[in-house]
Structures are given as structure tokens and as C-alpha cells.
């Protein structure tokens, strides 16, 4: 029987970013085998990449981007998760928050 794959998950803040925002990514992945996550690689969908559990990124242009997290456990199992993000041209109004 093969070992269970790790579960790749992440959150993005702010949820409705603009080109003036720094986007924060937070890995919340788990390993059901409890071996542990060895590394994390991020693709921001705009040609830029990063490694680590909580990278930050600023998009230079408005549009739709696909963020992909790829990770591996210490025993070599891998997993991947992607999510789309829309970057707005202007900051959202803070007066209605």
C-alpha cells in the first residue's frame, strides 16, 4: 500500500488585491503520514517564483493569475495545488469596510 500524498493548501491575503497591494501567501498544507513537509515552491503565474512557507509578492499589472504551490515531504511524496487570483488595477474603497 502506498503512502498518502500530502495535502497542499494555502490562503491568499488580501482576498481582493490590487497592483498597489503586497499579496501574502500562507501555506497550510498537511502531511497525513506525519513525516513532514521538506520544501515548498511557489509559482505566482506572472513569471516570478519563490520558496518557503509564507512568501509575499506584488503584481505589476492587473489581471487574472494562477498561483501554484508545489511541495514535497521528507520521504519524497509530492503534491500541488493551484488557485486563480484577480489583481485589480485600483485599490478597493476602504470607506465601506
Q: How does pLDDT run across 40-66, given as a tens digit for each residue?
A: 999 999 999 999 999 999 999 999 999
97 pLDDT above the threshold of 50 = no
Answer yes or no: is 92 within a domain. Answer: no
The DSSP annotation for 5-31 comes to PPB--EEEESSS-BTTSPEEEEE--B-
Q: How many independent structural domains does the chain possess? A: 1
Answer yes or no: is 3 within a domain. Answer: no
0.75 cut: is pTM over it?
yes
Answer yes or no: is 1 within a domain. Answer: no
CATH of the domain at 81: 2.60.40.10
Residue-range definition of the domain harbouring residue 82: 10-87
Amino acid at each position: 500500500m502506498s503512502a498518502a500524498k500530502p495535502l497542499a493548501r494555502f490562503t491568499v491575503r488580501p482576498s481582493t488585491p490590487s497592483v498597489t497591494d503586497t499579496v501574502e501567501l500562507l501555506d497550510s498544507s498537511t502531511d497525513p503520514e506525519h513525516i513532514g513537509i521538506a520544501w515548498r515552491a511557489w509559482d505566482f503565474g506572472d513569471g516570478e517564483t519563490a520558496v518557503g512557507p509564507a512568501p509575499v509578492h506584488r503584481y505589476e499589472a492587473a489581471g487574472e493569475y494562477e498561483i501554484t504551490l508545489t511541495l514535497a515531504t521528507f520521504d519524497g511524496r509530492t503534491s500541488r495545488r493551484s488557485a486563480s487570483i484577480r489583481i485589480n488595477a485600483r485599490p478597493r474603497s476602504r470607506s465601506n469596510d
